Structures are given as structure tokens and as C-alpha cells.
Structure 1
Amino acid sequence: MTNYSDNRYFKLFDKQKATQLVIGKTNYKERLKKLKALKLALEKTYKQEIRDALYNDFKKPHLETDLTEIYPVIDEINFVKTHLKSWLKNQKVDTPIALLGSSSWIKNEAKGVCLIISPWNFPVNLTFGPLVSAIAAGNTVVLKPSEMTPHTSKVMSNIVNAIFNKNEVALIEGDVEVSKALLKLPFNHIFFTGSPQVGKIVMKAAATYLSSVTLELGGKSPVIIDDTSHLDKAVKKIIFGKFLNAGQTCIAPDYVFVNESIKEEFVTRFKKQLKAFYSETPSSSHSFGRIVNQKHFKRLTGYLEDAISKKASIIVGGSSEEKDNYIEPTLVFDVSEDSDLMQNEIFGPILPVKTYTSTNEVINYINSREKPLALYIFSKNRKRINEIINSTRAGSTCINHNLLQFLNHNLPFGGSNNSGIGKSHGYFGFLEFTNQRSILKQHTIGAIDLLMPPYNNFKQKLVDLTIKWF
């Protein structure tokens, strides 16, 4: 038996473990009471503190904070409020005639003690969003937000401490060493959002205890713009999706395929729309954020320098200010396949563009790489749209827009293989934090009771009839 006494977080874990069955027995009203308190904190009590913290961490505009951090969590809570009562009911299922005399149902029961490790790019959304699902399912939870957004982590810690008993929900601040220590504990479920590289480390740690995992990862999400698309609308939506949060979004367009016939028109409209969004000097725009820290700033400027050294052409942008972690919205053409921009998830305000002439060319390229978290198609050609969807694989797809699939709680959100394992949001997020327990109850004597030892010819004939007819 493993000795955890030297793990500084074991006492907290042990207290949550001791509480888990009590929390798991709570009804939907008790769970909604907790979620209502969280909603009030986000919507009113701590709203301005959250805005200020995110601005201090990386100058996230207040409107973006409201739209991408606070609103999705509140919307998730509202969705759960509408449906939780029905989710917690036993789900009756059919019982085959061979098991006549019995009834069957599924009970969604809490997994137990859960760990949520969240990222820095949308710290409130991606910490409290999964927490909503975990609470709805009746779990106890340890939250570990990123150390890269310390102001926001502090506010979230204040919220959690004000609302929850630590035996139910606790938030632990700290660096990667804190995460390593937590991953040594036998959590029943681990929900991680971050890079595929770290996701593999989390999965390896979970394997020690056969803990179930949800891995919301990332990848290079492509955009396809064909010659039938409404180009003005496509460009506007792509600029919004790419440069929201200064490009630091897991489902942001990572690179764009533009039909060769509309290349010049695309560039012209891109320049015009970019200016309309962020003015001629995006560095002074209140609508454009900053890179989270020096490490990521240097990574991104390094990607750009590498691309330029390999003959890439900067069509728009390209400038940066190190003291402010500012990188101008940048459009790049002629990017070499062996460049950092095309080999790694960019996660910043740099958008490579490739041109194409045939749809098969695009499909083959996408399929030669890891499955993306998202794939975006801008087209009016239904046959072509279906061809792309049916011939590729991705975590999600949005047609004639981008990012919006994340906001529909009726849709599962997540990746596939390298871009993620498991789903979140709505009922799918609830299921991630539950065990679907199979239950069968025998009411009267059944066929199986007639087939127990000692075996004889009559019983053999009954089995033969069962195989043939039932």
C-alpha cells in the first residue's frame, strides 16, 4: 500500500475522500445551491476583480473577459440548472426477453475525488467551467490553476474560499511542482486542459492508479476558404477568431487555406478589416490584448524569425514590443513546411496562409497531420462542405464561422487523440465526472434460473432455442 504521508496535499485529499460519499448523496437542489453561489460571485460580487486581474495578467480587454471568461461559465450553470434534475434520475433501459422477469436502469453516480488542472489562456472559464460539471455530478474537487496568471488565480482562490468548504472544493496555487505533487495522489478523475506534451505526462501519472482522465488539448486547427464563400464575412470572422485573446486560444484558427483564385482579394479585405477592428496601430487599441509572459513572447517572435529566415513573406504586421509583450496581428505567406510556424501550435497572433487549387489537396494535407481540435470551413457549396467533413477527422467543426461551437452546451467539446480525450460541456461534461452504473433487478423467476446445474438434455434444448430465437 502506497504511503502518501510525505505528500503535502495528502491531508486535503484524504479529507475530500472522507467526504465524497456524503457529497455524492446530495440531491439536485443542494448541488444547484452551490452553483447559484458561484454564479452570483462571477456575475456580481467578484466581476470587477476578475476583470482587473485578467487585465493585470495580460491586458485582456474587459469585454473579452465578460464574453469569454464569465459568460460561458454562467451559461454552463444555467444549462445545468435546467437539466440536472433529469440527469440525476435513474435512466430505465430495455431488458431483453432472455432476461424476462427483471428490469434494468443506469444510475449516474459521482466518480469521487477529482483534480482539475487548468491553463492560463482562459483561466476563469477553463477552471470554473469543468468545476460546474464536477459539482453537478456530485464530486469533491481540487482545483490547480496556472501560475502564469497569478492575479486571476488569487481572485479565483478568494471565490472558492468564500463559497466552498475545503473538504468539498479547494483551490491550490503554485507552480509546476505543485501539479507534480498533486498528480502523485490517487484521484478518481483528472481533468486537464493544456498542451498535448503535458497531457501525456498527466495521462502517465493517472495510469499509476488507473484514474480516468479528460484531456482537453490542442493542435493546429485549419481554416478552409473556398471560392464560393462570402469573403467579407469570412475574413471578418477569422480575424475575430484568430486575434481574440491575442491568438492565445486552443480552438483559434492556426493556419488558413485560401483558394488560389481569391488570394489577392483575401489579402485586400484582411488588411481593411484588421484596421477596422484594431486601427492602424493595434498596440494602442483597447480591443487587443498581450502575450501572457516573456517566455511565450520570445517563443512567438522566434517562430516569426525562423519563418522569415526560410523565405516567408510578412504581408501584414510583424512588429513587436518586448517590454509590453506585444506582438502585432500578423499575416504570413510562403511559409516553409519545416518552419516552427507550421510544425507547432502557434498560440499567438500570427496567421500563416497557404493557397490551394483542389479540395483533395487540402484534405490530404490535413490528414497527413495530427487530428486538430477544430476544423473550420467557409463555403456555400454543400457538396464540398460534406466532402471535407466526411474525408477528415477533427474534434469539432464550424461551418461559416469559428469558435462558436464552444458556446453550444448541447454539443460535446473536446479533441480526438493528440488533440484530446473525453468531452466537456453540458450533459457531456456531466458524464465525464460520473460513472454510469449498470443496475439489473430480478423480480420473478427467469429463464436463467431454469438453466442452472445440473445440466441435462432438456436444459440444452432450452439453450439451443435461446440461441436461435432470442
Structure 2
Amino acid sequence: MNHPARIQSPSIQDNDPLTALFDAQQQAVLVHGAPNYKQRMADLEALLQLIKANHDVLIETVCKDFGNRSFAETKLSELMPIVNGIKHIRAHLKSWMRPSKRKVGMAFKPATARVMYQPLGVVGILAPWNYPLTLTLIPLMEALAAGNRVMLKPSELTPHTAELLKRLLGEIFPAEQISVIIGDASLASRFSELAFDHLVFTGSTNVGRHVMAAAARNLTPVTLELGGKSPVVIGSDFPLKKAARLVVIGKLFNAGQTCVAPDYAMVPRHLVDTFAAECLNAAKQLYPSIQGNKDYTSIISPRHYDRLMKMIDQAGAGGARIWQNGMVRGTDERKVPPTILTNVPLDADVMCEEIFGPLLPVIGYDNLEQAIAFINARPKPLALYGFSNDSAFVDQLLEQTRSGGVTINGTMLHATQDDLPFGGVGNSGTGAYHGYEGFIRLSHARGVFKLSRFNMSDKVSAPYGAMTRLVTRLMLGQ
């Protein structure tokens, strides 16, 4: 799309390579227009074959960036959702692209109305480090399905994966269709200042505020996938041992470095210690050892490792009970052991910040109303988890809380469903994507109204007379 009145940040110069790439993609939109169904399907197939052909190197490269990233977790959380997502889009794209018929008001007949879905133009994607393939390539494939051109900025914390994606995508897509931008946080800031037709950002709430402010200068619409403190509420009717295992599976996946990971658990007050012990037992079964265990993922960087250790120390100093199967500090592996925290001060960092690590505070509650009030007194989370087989309990929890998404009697699985929207609300984000919602989010819904040859709408005009009185009387029921 052409942006003759683009507001440009002082940090972006006209001869800047970033601007040059952006301008080249804009020009390609003007020259080539919207890709047809056949071209979009071919692009998605090329992306699918890229993943399949480079399966092993992608897994190994992500592992290298983390220090240790479980191969199984990369397959389950990165490659599988990408492959399944592309297949889902390809199976439905023709129907999604088809214009949808809409009704015409009685006073405007004979006429037709329809909605056409057109590409927005150039889409920017700012991706995070915790799932460097999924959170880069799923927005990409949905942007391609909608017919857009794309500029990608992977995280600087996963540099090897970023370089690999730049090389692989550059081998099959021209730069004016897909460009991968490599650089640090300052480049990401400049990236967010470009006048994209849409900007997708996944990351922390604090950084999301800066991204949204930068985009606002160009009136760029944004999809913000943020995070927050996603709560778990355990009902007294649900088997406690089973609930603990399911919560721990979600909490320790990717060592808790997941935006929809359970952040804290709310348990009937008399079951707090029992639940904590069951969580620790479940963690031991899942990961009999931590150091040297290839299934247990490392914390991404020394800074993030230190942050988590300080959270534990601060909570302990404030009176929290720390439940662990053993603590090893300062190892080269940057592995934080599964840690359950009870009696946690509510002003401790672990209860005020998104944890993004394998720490789980457990909070006691006396009744469901109290648990709901606790959740609602805090910013709306990206995810909510309830464990109960009592439909009244579940209905009350769903009706009286707000969150981006929900899984009942499990964790995180709602985010893996191709036919469910994924997105936040309030502080946890704005906008949703995945599957159909991704196609719609990255398309322009263009309303088209066509008058019939025999339409007499021109008769309702000044000087207003009998025809105008008749039409208004009929429409207003007078």
C-alpha cells in the first residue's frame, strides 16, 4: 500500500537498509497486486516443505540457542503446530477467500451486498525467543494465506535460529515477498516504527506498550500477543494427584518459558500443602534428574536465570515455604529445578510479575467466589485453567472471569487448536490469530454494495417529496 503521508521516526533515515526493504515490499504490492489462490497455496506448500526438509537442523539449532532445549519439546511445540497449521489453512483457504454474501435492507433493494477479503499489504512480525519457530512462522503462514508480504524480526536471544530462518526463507522467497531482519533490540525498536499495514508482536506486556506506541505514530494496527499471570483454579471435586500432574506438565514444559504456562495455582485452603507435595512428586516422575537431563530445557540466558533465582530468594526471605527436590546454583546448564512456593507474600515479585520459569506459587482459597475475586483483582491473563468435573463450578468460573483463552481439566492445549482463536485481552494482548481468525485478522474485509439496474434509490432525493415520505414511513413503522 502507498503511504504518502508516512510519519517517520527520527531514528529511521531515508537511506536506511530497513526502510529500503520496506519500500521494496510496498512497491511490490503496487506492482503485483494480490496473489491469487493458486499462488498462496504454492507459498504455503513451499513453507511446509522447508520445515520437512530441514527438520533435524531446525531442532538442533533451537537447542543450541537455549544451551539445551528438549528435542521432543521442539517437535511437539514448534514443528508439529507449524505443519498442522499449514495443512489446516490449505484445507480451508478456498472457502475463506470466497466473498461472503450479506443481506440488503428492504429500502435498498434490488441490490446485492458482499464482503471481499483482501490483503492488507506489508505485515511486520516481531517474534520472541521462547518459541522461535512457532511464534515466527505461524504468523508468517497466516500472513501469506491472507496474501500479504512480510518482514520478520526474530529475537536476538536466539541468534542461530534467526540466521537459519533468514537463510532458509531467503532460498525460496524473494526479499520483496519475505524479508528476515537480523539485529538487536535497537533494531527491533526501529522495526516497530515502520509504517506497516499491520504489525504482529509477541512478547512481554512492558515491551508491548512501547511497540504499540511506536505503531500508533503511523496509525499501524497491531496484534499484541503478550502474557501475564495465567491462573489455575483447582476444584475440590477433582482428583488432586491428577490435577498436580497435569499442572506440572504444563508448568515445566520448556522450563516454564511459555506465555500460557500456569503462573500460579489456587487450591482449596486445606489442600495447599498436599497439592504442593503432589506437584513435587509429579515433577520427580517427569524429570528424575535435572542437571544433564536432555528432556529438561535450560533457561534462555544468564540474565533470565538470575532473575528466577532472585524471585525464589526474595519469596523465601518474605516467609514463603520453598518446595524443591534439590537446588543447584551457578551451573553452566542454566537449569532451575522445579520449585513450588507456598505461603507466598502477595507483594513478592513472583506474585507480581510473569514468572516465565519453573516456579509455581500455590495460593489457598475458601470458596470459588473468593478465588474469582482474587483473579479479577489483577490484570486479565492470557490463559485461565480450571480443574473440575462440576459443570456449575466450571460455568461460574467461565462466566465471572475474563482471559484470552481457557483450557478446562488441562493446561495450554487451547493454544494448540487450529480452529480456535488465540489471543489476549486487556494487558495480555489485543487481537487474535490462528487459522481462520489469523486469515481474517491479516485481511481487509471490504464491503461491496451493488445496485441493480432497476434500483430506484435515486428517487429518494431532494427536493424531498412523496417518495421520501413513503419510504421513511414504511421504514420507521409510522
> What TM-score results when the alignment is normalised by the length of structure 1?
0.96
Answer yes or no: is 1:99 the counterpart of 2:108: yes
**Matched AA of 2:373:** N
Give the aligned partner of residue 392 of structure 1.
401
Question: What is the SS of the residue equivalent to 1:418?
Answer: helix
* Match 2:58 to one of 46, 50, 64: 50
> Offset of 1:193 from its aligned partner?
0.2
* Match 1:17 to one of 23, 26, 32: 26
Question: What is the SS of the residue equivalent to 2:477?
Answer: helix
> Offset of 1:457 from its aligned partner?
4.8
> Offset of 1:201 from its aligned partner?
0.8
> Offset of 1:331 from its aligned partner?
0.6
Give the aligned partner of residue 130 of structure 1.
139
Q: What's the CA shift string for 1:239-282, capped at 9, x where partnerless?
A: 11000001000000000011123334323322322111100x22
Q: Contact 2:290–2:335 (CA<8 Å) still a contact in 1?
A: no
Give the aligned partner of residue 449 of structure 1.
458
Q: What's the CA shift string for 1:352-406, capped at 9, x where partnerless?
A: 1011121111000000000000000011111011011111111111100011001
Q: Contact 1:423–1:429 (CA<8 Å) still a contact in 2?
A: yes
Instruction: Note the residue ranges of structure 1 that are not aligned, 5 or more in a row.
Output: none
* Match 1:297 to one of 305, 312, 315: 305
Question: What is the SS of the residue equivalent to 1:40?
Answer: helix
> Offset of 1:72 from its aligned partner?
0.7
Answer yes or no: is 1:406 the counterpart of 2:432: no
Distance 2:32 2:139 in 1: 17
* Match 2:294 to one of 262, 286, 300: 286
Answer yes or no: is 1:350 the counterpart of 2:359: yes
> Offset of 1:29 from its aligned partner?
1.8
> Offset of 1:462 from its aligned partner?
3.0
Question: What is the SS of the residue equivalent to 2:199?
Answer: strand
Answer yes or no: is 1:170 the counterpart of 2:179: yes
Q: What's the CA shift string for 1:90-135, capped at 9, x where partnerless?
A: 1111111111011000001000011000000000000000001000
Give the aligned partner of residue 244 of structure 1.
253
Give the aligned partner of residue 70 of structure 1.
79
Give the aligned partner of residue 274 of structure 1.
283
Give the aligned partner of residue 194 of structure 2.
185
**Matched AA of 1:378:** F
Shifted more, 19-28 versus 203-212: the winner is 19-28
Shifted more, 456-465 versus 433-442: the winner is 456-465
* Large movers: runs of 4+ above 6 Å: none
Answer yes or no: is 1:113 the counterpart of 2:122: yes
Equivalent runs, 1:287-326 vs 2, <5 Å: 287-317=295-325, 319-322=327-330, 323-326=332-335
**Matched AA of 1:293:** S
Give the aligned partner of residue 269 of structure 2.
260
**Matched AA of 1:120:** W
Shifted more, 283-292 versus 413-422: the winner is 283-292
Equivalent runs, 1:147-158 vs 2, <5 Å: 147-158=156-167
Shifted more, 456-465 versus 303-312: the winner is 456-465
**Matched AA of 1:422:** G
Distance 2:313 2:260 in 1: 24
> Cα 1:422–1:318, aligned 2, differ >3 Å: closer, same or farther?
farther
Q: Contact 2:193–2:214 (CA<8 Å) still a contact in 1?
A: yes
Shifted more, 426-435 versus 458-467: the winner is 458-467
* Match 1:82 to one of 85, 91, 103: 91
Q: Contact 1:24–1:138 (CA<8 Å) still a contact in 2?
A: no
Give the aligned partner of residue 429 of structure 1.
438
Give the aligned partner of residue 468 of structure 1.
477
> Cα 1:224–1:324, aligned 2, differ >3 Å: closer, same or farther?
same
Shifted more, 168-177 versus 1-10: the winner is 1-10
Q: What's the CA shift string for 1:223-244, capped at 9, x where partnerless?
A: 0111111223211111110000
Question: What is the SS of the residue equivalent to 1:60?
Answer: coil
> Offset of 1:316 from its aligned partner?
2.1
Give the aligned partner of residue 365 of structure 1.
374
Q: Contact 2:70–2:294 (CA<8 Å) still a contact in 1?
A: yes
Shifted more, 32-41 versus 331-340: the winner is 32-41
Q: Contact 2:263–2:354 (CA<8 Å) still a contact in 1?
A: yes
> Cα 1:180–1:6, aligned 2, differ >3 Å: closer, same or farther?
farther
Distance 2:76 2:372 in 1: 33
Distance 2:467 2:84 in 1: 61
> Offset of 1:456 from its aligned partner?
2.5
> Offset of 1:49 from its aligned partner?
1.1
Q: Contact 2:407–2:413 (CA<8 Å) still a contact in 1?
A: yes
Q: Contact 1:317–1:331 (CA<8 Å) still a contact in 2?
A: no
> Cα 1:457–1:40, aligned 2, differ >3 Å: closer, same or farther?
closer
Aligned residue pair count: 467
**Matched AA of 2:79:** I
Q: Contact 1:371–1:394 (CA<8 Å) still a contact in 2?
A: yes
* Match 1:333 to one of 333, 342, 345: 342
Q: Contact 2:460–2:467 (CA<8 Å) still a contact in 1?
A: no
> Offset of 1:19 from its aligned partner?
1.0
Distance 1:274 1:225 in 2: 18
> Offset of 1:24 from its aligned partner?
4.6
Q: Contact 2:111–2:451 (CA<8 Å) still a contact in 1?
A: yes
**Matched AA of 2:224:** L
Q: Contact 1:413–1:425 (CA<8 Å) still a contact in 2?
A: yes
> Offset of 1:166 from its aligned partner?
0.4
Question: What is the SS of the residue equivalent to 1:332?
Answer: strand
**Matched AA of 2:41:** L
Identical counterparts, % of pairs: 36
Distance 1:303 1:51 in 2: 30
Distance 1:338 1:265 in 2: 24
* Match 1:39 to one of 34, 44, 48: 48
Distance 2:336 2:356 in 1: 12
**Matched AA of 2:59:** R
Distance 1:403 1:344 in 2: 19
